[in-house]
Amino acid sequence: MGFKIGLLGLGTVGTGTAEILLSPEGRHPVVRELEIYRVGVRSLDKPRTVQLPPEILTTDLEAIVTDPNIDIVVEVLGGLEPARSLILTAIAHGKHVVTANKAVISRFGSEIFTAANEKGVYVMLEASVGGGIPVIQPLKQALGVNRIQTVIGIVNGTTNYILTRMRDEGADFGEVLADAQRLGYAEADPTADVDGLDAADKIAILASLAFGGRIKLEDVYCEGISQVGAADIAYAEKLGFVIKLLAIAKKLDVNSELLSIRVNPTLLPKTHPLASVNGVYNAILVEGEPIGQVMFYGRGAGAGPTATAVVSDILNIVSVLKVAEPEKGRAGENVDNAAPTPPLPHSPTLHSLLACSHQHYCQIAPIEELVTRFYARFLTKDFPGVIGKLGTCFGDRGVSLESVVQTGFQGELAEIVVVTHDVREGNFRLALDDIRSLEAVDSVASLLRVL
Ligand SMILES: NC(=O)C1=CN([C@@H]2O[C@H](COP(=O)(O)OP(=O)(O)OC[C@H]3O[C@@H](n4cnc5c(N)ncnc54)[C@H](OP(=O)(O)O)[C@@H]3O)[C@@H](O)[C@H]2O)C=CC1
Ligand SMILES: N[C@@H](CC=O)C(=O)O
Ligand code: NA
């Protein structure tokens, strides 16, 4: 065997990764050159669905990332610590790293890539966004010559699965979430999925690659799906929309360097290419000059899809290393009885299509500057002229309405649904403040953006 892998984690993604590495037949020939050398887990007693020699499992993860025999560390533990420290230690010991951990990369990417570049090692993260969908490498490589204007994605499989089943079956939120957990889609703490935080991590990573700068996660505006009720799903349907948790990064306007980055449930016209992305599927729509629109679609979570991305990253690294040092890793070569190999000598410069070298931070506009359409559902007392009063409040703040419908009653309260034309978010919020102070208005039952 040629290249030794230290696998940190043998859960959903780790097991999927091991399954690919243990069955190389019919796959790229380089897969035969990869050996699972050590596997780090929390519990040695847990039953495993993958057959590995028990002696390669350990709870001593530090020993894996410092092992001189290991070439590539694959981090599929999840969580911030010890994942971040283990990645940094692996880098310090000259190991290349493959990770699926968007939470660590979106928060500590700067520290990790700076360390990796200094040490001359690769940190690859295809699995961190869109699971099995190739989107990180395409942004770095095939789309690298484009000027990107917009990245819009459905990048969280758990919430897309939940929203799809709520719409199609009227399913209960809690039950569907439990199914998503059982299927291995959800994060260890599923509030990261439900509250949009996982999607925020992912759009921060995509925006960084698309716009060529670092992104501060705290600049990403984020709303989750818990505010989306059955009533909104039904009204959206009647109005010709579906509701999706969208992650959007775009230039505020064509000539601006200022970006808008946000995650929020959004009403999407049924004719939009992302509207038919259902269940655990993810899709990322990129608009660039001169390519125009290009869309990436596939399974965004689950063992097999995510492991595909992990192993493809390993292959990318190994392929570059093999050019740099062709003697290493000839197929079938057995070095089991040989003395430990010294750490890999690294090429003095990293391959520019695999490495990440952003230095500056992108400028992100506050959410008030966003220009978008809104959907709002009001509960009002059934007074005459309420719709007129709402219209006046909107008009006073320069908000133009596309449609206003009184849709029915909830008990004593009338339900009024409004869809606006494009409006600056700051102005829309001022109009809402005015509306909330009207005696006739009981509450703003929901507020969603419309694409
Ligand atoms: N699941 C998915 O569909 C996707 C997941 N990801 C990302 O992949 C990563 C892994 O996710 P997933 O496979 O679902 O997670 P799991 O919870 O299924 O697996 C985690 C694995 O890491 C081990 N582990 C966790 N913490 C420690 C620790 N402190 N010490 C030792 N071992 C530890 C666990 O050990 P033990 O088995 O002993 O408990 C387990 O084997 C996460 O970053 C996630 O965001 C990315 C895309 C899709
Ligand atoms: N929990 C995530 C897993 C993949 O990143 C999701 O649901 O998309
Ligand atoms: Na991916």
Nearest to 303 by CA among 58, 98, 90, 50: 50
SS (H, E, C) 306-350: HHHHHHHHHHHHHHHHHHHCCCCCCCCCCCCCCCCCCCCCCCCCC
163 pLDDT higher than 80? yes
Question: Do 228 and 156 reside in the same domain of the chain?
Answer: yes
Question: Do 169 and 284 reside in the same domain of the chain?
Answer: yes
Looking at ligand 2, which atom is closest to the CA of residue 199? 8
Question: Do 289 and 157 reside in the same domain of the chain?
Answer: yes
Question: Do 106 and 195 reside in the same domain of the chain?
Answer: no
Tokens of 208: 């960084």
Residue 284 maps to which CATH number? 3.30.360.10
Residue 418, phi then psi, degrees to nearest 5: -120, 135
Measured by CA distance, the residue closest to atom 4 of ligand 2 is 301
Question: Do 97 and 16 reside in the same domain of the chain?
Answer: yes
Answer yes or no: is 338 within a domain: no
Question: Do 100 and 162 reside in the same domain of the chain?
Answer: no
Question: Do 231 and 121 reside in the same domain of the chain?
Answer: no
Is the CB–ligand 2 distance for residue 131 below 6 Å?
yes
Question: Do 256 and 396 reside in the same domain of the chain?
Answer: no
Answer yes or no: is 164 within a domain: yes
How many angstroms is it from 88 CA to the middle of ligand 2?
24
Helix (H/G/I), strand (E/B), else coil: 450: strand
Tokens of 60: 């001593």
How many angstroms is it from 8 CA to the middle of ligand 2?
18
Is the CB–ligand 2 distance for residue 186 below 6 Å?
yes
- Beta-bridged to residue 241, according to DSSP, are 269
Is the CB–ligand 2 distance for residue 193 below 6 Å?
yes
Q: 132 and 282 in contact (C-beta within 8 Å)?
A: no
Q: Residue 346 — pLDDT band, cuts 50, 70, 90? A: very low
Answer yes or no: is 434 within a domain: yes
Answer yes or no: is 231 within a domain: yes
How many angstroms is it from 100 CA to the middle of ligand 1?
9
Answer yes or no: is 71 within a domain: yes
Is the CB–ligand 1 distance for residue 101 below 6 Å?
yes
Active site residue 202: yes
Q: How many domains does the chain have?
A: 3
Residue 430 maps to which CATH number? 3.30.70.260
The pTM of the full predicted model, rounded to 2 decimals, is 0.94
Question: Do 294 and 306 reside in the same domain of the chain?
Answer: no
Question: Do 94 and 120 reside in the same domain of the chain?
Answer: yes
The secondary structure element, H or E, covering residue 304 is: helix 303-324
Residue 71 maps to which CATH number? 3.40.50.720
Nearest to 9 by CA among 48, 34, 42: 42
Looking at ligand 2, which atom is closest to the CA of residue 180? 7
Q: Which of 4, 202, 244, 328 is flagged as catalytic?
A: 202
Q: Which domain holds residue 443?
A: 368-450
Looking at ligand 1, which atom is closest to the CA of residue 185? 3
Q: Which pLDDT belongs to residue 344?
A: 43
Residue 439, amino acid: E
340 pLDDT higher than 50? no
CA–CA distances in Å: residue 217 to residues 109, 110, 213, 237, 263: 10, 12, 13, 33, 12
Q: 16 and 306 in contact (C-beta within 8 Å)?
A: yes
Tell me the pLDDT tens digit for each residue of 352-411. Answer: 899 987 889 999 999 999 999 999 999 999 888 999 999 999 999 999 999 998 878 888
336 pLDDT higher than 50? no
Answer yes or no: is 341 within a domain: no
How many angstroms is it from 291 CA to the middle of ligand 1?
37
Domain boundary among 264, 298, 332: 298
Tell me the pLDDT tens digit for each residue of 237-295. Answer: 999 999 999 999 999 888 888 999 999 999 999 999 999 999 999 999 999 999 999 99
333 pLDDT higher than 80? no
Answer yes or no: is 336 within a domain: no
Question: Do 141 and 285 reside in the same domain of the chain?
Answer: yes
Answer yes or no: is 355 within a domain: no
Question: Do 88 and 151 reside in the same domain of the chain?
Answer: no
Is the CB–ligand 2 distance for residue 9 below 6 Å?
no
Q: Residue 330 — pLDDT band, cuts 50, 70, 90? A: very low
